[in-house]
């Protein structure tokens, strides 16, 4: 069933991806590394939405990982995967505007972690499909 599709006020400085195309059977980082300030006490979250319709075909996969760190080249994934799914015979479809995943940034991260980026990985050519991603208040 997944997440409710809530609307958010988005700060332009906290945008990770704005209508960013998914990769062609590979991986790509979010357009932006966002400095969210760090130590957000569980009050900030990452939201990834389908900008246009996103369809994953049978046996193909989409994976989204967040990387945190103290510099603008963050690398710590916390061994967590925000979203991963391999489509079955009926595929996976997100309508434009659907929430693909959310992650409330943990309140137990090291105090010097201030930066985050996303990495999108696909196993098929999804380059005609686009996503929006941003940090927002919970």
Residues that bind another protein in the complex, under the rule CB under 8 A: 1-4, 6, 42-43, 45, 76, 78-85, 99-110, 113, 138
Q: Give the nearer residue to another protein in terms of CB position, either 35 or 45.
A: 45
The distance of closest approach from Cβ of residue 3 to another protein in the complex, given in angstroms and rounded to an integer, is: 4
Tokens of 84: 């991963």
The distance of closest approach from Cβ of residue 124 to another protein in the complex, given in angstroms and rounded to an integer, is: 17
Residue whose C-alpha is closest to residue 84's, from 117, 51, 123: 123
Residue 98's φ and ψ, nearest 5 degrees, are: -65, 145
The answer to whether 116 and 33 are in contact (CB under 8 A) is yes
Residue whose C-alpha is closest to residue 80's, from 64, 62, 69, 92: 64
Q: Give the nearer residue to another protein in terms of CB position, either 15 or 94.
A: 94
Q: Give the nearer residue to another protein in terms of CB position, either 26 or 80.
A: 80
The distance of closest approach from Cβ of residue 95 to another protein in the complex, given in angstroms and rounded to an integer, is: 16
C-alpha 8, offset from chain centre: 15
The distance of closest approach from Cβ of residue 92 to another protein in the complex, given in angstroms and rounded to an integer, is: 9
């Amino acid at each position: 069933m997944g997440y409710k599709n809530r609307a958010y006020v988005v700060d332009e400085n906290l945008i990770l991806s704005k209508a960013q195309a998914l990769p062609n059977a590979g991986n790509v980082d979010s357009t932006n590394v966002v400095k969210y300030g760090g130590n957000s006490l569980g009050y900030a979250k990452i939201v990834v939405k389908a900008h246009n319709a996103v369809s994953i075909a049978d046996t193909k996969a989409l994976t989204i990982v967040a990387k945190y760190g103290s510099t603008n080249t963050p690398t710590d994934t916390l061994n967590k995967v925000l979203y991963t799914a391999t489509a079955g015979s009926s595929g996976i479809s997100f309508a434009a505007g659907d929430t693909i995943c959310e992650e409330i940034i943990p309140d137990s991260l090291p105090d010097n972690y201030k930066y985050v980026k996303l990495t999108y990985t696909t196993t098929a050519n999804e380059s005609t499909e686009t996503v929006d991603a941003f940090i927002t208040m919970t």
